Amino acid sequence: MAVGSQIEWTEATWNPTTGCTKISPGCKNCYAERLSKRLKSMGVKKYRNNFEFTEQPNDLTLPYSWKKSKRIFVNSMSDLFHEESRMEYIASCFHVMLDVERHQYQVLTKRSEKMKQFSDLFENFFGDIIPPHIWMGVSVENENYKYRIDDLRDTKCHTRFLSIEPLIGSVGKLNLQKIDWVIIGGESGYNYREVKKEWILEIIKQCKKQNVAVFFKQWGGIRPKSGGRIINGRIYDEYPKISSFDNILKEIAYDEKEFAKFCKSKLKEKSALLNI
């Protein structure tokens, strides 16, 4: 969608899909829903379906237009692994990410199971896992949704991150094995739910202990910047260390359409097996 994102931990946003459906308490005051309504009322064509899940094939090629390397948040206005998102369309999005390798992509979801399922298809097709410049992440808002971290651990990829935002309850004990980066943030907007300092500190402490990079994005409040981002006199501004890695996938010539077809057909086989 845009270069120069307001989101502290990224540099640009790319929305090859828009719209979503609320799935857990973290979605209650969804910023993407509010913004979609606003953009629709302003007559922005891309948001004519308001917050209904919509593929945006016209935006698929946007990363090609950014000549300098960027950190790109994939789908700030949606969830790529939404129930209605077709596996072949997801494959097309990944094709772009593989092809435009100069960027780093931050793919964040609350649909961790579908993400894991897609990563299996990816590995089956390429014979290798999702490369390190495509960071795969899950959102966790309180301790009831920590199962998404387990799904992320099982996702076939190199770089994994957590967005613990909006933090609306203690997450308790965290297993951060195989996790490279943790973002923490309080909620913002008129109906924001206040974050407790001890919830933030317990996460930071566990990141330090388990040697995981931590980024404290915001305290939250009416506006994202209302409370600032200093905690105990300091700013936590760390990023994952992505070791230089020989990406063998860039040597593989493959047909983009075959990849999409593969994802579609394998899913059909699986559905037939499960009788769904």
Report the interface residues with ligand SF4, using CB under 6 A.
Answer: 20, 22-23, 26-27, 30, 32-33, 78-79, 110
Q: Give me the least distance between CB of 74 and ligand SF4, in Å please.
A: 12
The 2-3 sheet, strands edge to edge: 2-3, 12-14, 71-74, 104-109, 130-139, 157-164, 181-185, 213-218
**Secondary-structure percent of the chain, ordered helix, strand, coil, rounded to 5:** 35, 20, 45
Q: End-to-end alpha-carbon separation of the chain, Å? A: 35
Q: Give me the least distance between CB of 220 and ligand SF4, in Å please.
A: 14
Of 109 and 206, the one with the shorter C-beta distance to ligand SF4 is: 109
Q: Give me the least distance between CB of 161 and ligand SF4, in Å please.
A: 15
C-alpha–C-alpha distance, residues 263 and 229, integer Å: 41
Of 2 and 235, the one with the shorter C-beta distance to ligand SF4 is: 2
Q: Give me the least distance between CB of 111 and ligand SF4, in Å please.
A: 8
C-alpha–C-alpha distance, residues 193 and 197, integer Å: 13
* Helical segments of the chain, H only: 31-41, 62-65, 87-99, 112-126, 147-154, 197-209, 256-274
Q: Give me the least distance between CB of 191 and ligand SF4, in Å please.
A: 14
Of 30 and 231, the one with the shorter C-beta distance to ligand SF4 is: 30
CA distances in angstroms from 30 to 84, 134, 180, 229, 231, listed in the order given: 19, 24, 26, 21, 25
C-alpha–C-alpha distance, residues 80 and 110, integer Å: 9
Distance of CA 136 to the CA centre of its chain: 6
Q: Give me the least distance between CB of 79 and ligand SF4, in Å please.
A: 5
Of 147 and 254, the one with the shorter C-beta distance to ligand SF4 is: 147
Of 77 and 98, the one with the shorter C-beta distance to ligand SF4 is: 77
Amino acid at position 38, single letter:
R
Measure the CA dihedral 74/148/30/83, to 10°.
70
Of 22 and 197, the one with the shorter C-beta distance to ligand SF4 is: 22
C-alpha–C-alpha distance, residues 72 and 15, integer Å: 10
Of 30 and 129, the one with the shorter C-beta distance to ligand SF4 is: 30
Q: Give me the least distance between CB of 30 and ligand SF4, in Å please.
A: 3
